[in-house]
Chain A
Amino acid sequence: MRGLRKAGFLAISAVFLTACDPMLSIEGSFWPAWIICILAGLAVSMALMWQLVRHRLAPYLGPPLLIVPSLWALCTFGIWLLFYST
């Protein structure tokens, strides 16, 4: 269990240290951080929303037109703050 935690900590540290580069290179084209954050935020928000649906909490969150974009924005901003703010 302790080894698993250590490995997880190292993996998270590696992600934090390497993800500071504000540009992502894909075959010679460089993608800005905000596009990466939007796409990653979309993926994370979809995963979270799926979990909320699975736990039958989705109908009680509030108006979907407000909640879904807010969740996407929260995930996008959160990812940016975690990886690209410094």
Chain B
Amino acid sequence: MENSQADHQVINLKRRVLLGRIIGTIIVLGALATGTLVWRINYQHPRTNDAMVRANIVGIAPEVSGRIVELHVEDNQYVRQGDLLYVIDPRPYQAKLAQAKAELQVVEKDVDSRRASSGSAELAIERLEHQRVAAGAEVKRIEAEDEYLHSYLERLEPLAEKQYVTTDQLQQARSKYAASRAALADASAKELSARSAIDEAKSESRRAVSMIAQVGNVNARIEAARALVTSAELDVEYCSVRAPFDAYVTNLNTREGEYAKTGMQMFALVDDRHWYAIANFKETYLQSIHPGQEADVFLVGYPGKRYRGVVTGIGWANYPDNMKQQGVLPEVRRTLNWVVLASRFPVRIEIQERDLEHPLRMGMTAFVTILDRPAETQKLSPGSEKGATTPQVP
């Protein structure tokens, strides 16, 4: 009896030892297997909690200076593209516009007047040309007469030596020839005078044309005046500042009466068309991340809420913290880094889902997991309007 009990205990002990060995082996092998699986999943689906929600921010600054007379938005308000944000006192710019328009009219009249003057100068040139032609003809006539009188005198002089003609006839011929020479000189001078007058008139005409400043079909003076009008119109238009896209007003801490300076940002708009999660992944995971991959975005502010996203890009540059420069020389510090930390690169994930109950806000802490599959919507472009039709918060 005692022997059978002892045998039973030995058998139980053996069973317990065997079972213990099996469980021990399972525990060790299971730890190795699950550890490998965890490592593999982590590598295939990189995840990080070093992520943040962000949107594009545009500072709203006026193009013109002036006092704000109307402010149509409140802080944190949703605005649609084209909504009036604020109005700068337009009266000085309206006055400048009226002045520019008046100057345009003055220039147009002046150009018309100069065009008329240029036409008169052309007529004067034509008239002087006729006078010059007449003077030239007179010169030729006198030259012909002078030539005849000269030959007549040359014929008379031998005859006078033989006394075939009287002295009076010879004297008369000489006088006529001398008078002809004087008339020729006078006619030549008149022709030269006509030429000079033509040159002067042409010079005047050119000056008048240059004052008109016409180049082809374009009149430079009128165009310059029109440009001033356009610029003044733009300034008046700039007095009314409108929302460039659907957005949320943020950091608005001013009211009517504030003097707005050109380029000074009054507040910012949060672009509601595209929301992103910027996740800083270790460089060791980058080869598992590609644009177009689907991603899960969890926000710590909304426990259990999952947003679908798509990887749109991986940052190309980080500030190299080991390459500082002192003056013109690199500053190389002596280090003894045995354990080197991996750099992190920002991965941009466009959030494709919106939820009215869970609005996105820039700066929210996020947890991002990259999935090993392509997103349904491929190749999202910055101009995509998905999810931008309705505001997150009514």
Contacts and interface: CB of A to CB of B under 8 A. Distances in A.
B35 A77 contact: yes
B367 interface: yes
Interface of B: 16-17, 19-21, 23-25, 27-28, 30-31, 34-35, 37-38, 41, 47, 49, 298, 300, 303-304, 306, 365, 367, 369
B24 A23 contact: no
17 contacts: A23-B49, A23-B303, A30-B49, A30-B365, A58-B20, A60-B19, A60-B20, A61-B21, A62-B21, A69-B31, A70-B27, A71-B27, A73-B35, A77-B35, A78-B30, A81-B34, A85-B41
Contacts of A74: 27, 30-31, 34
Interface secondary structure of B, over-half rule: helix
Given A23-B298, A74-B27, A18 B35 contact: no
The contact size tier of chain A is: 20 to 34
Interface of A: 18, 20-23, 25, 30, 32, 52, 56-62, 66-67, 69-71, 73-74, 77-78, 80-81, 85
A31 B21 CA distance: 37
Given A20-B304, A62-B25, A81-B37, 8 more contacts: A18-B304, A22-B47, A22-B369, A67-B24, A70-B30, A70-B31, A71-B31, A77-B37
Nearest to B38: A77
A27 B35 CA distance: 31
Contact of B27 (A22, A30, A59, A61): A61
B21 to A, nearest CB: 6
B81 to A, nearest CB: 36
A36 to B, nearest CB: 12
B298 A62 contact: no
Contacts of B19: 57, 60
Contacts of A32: 49
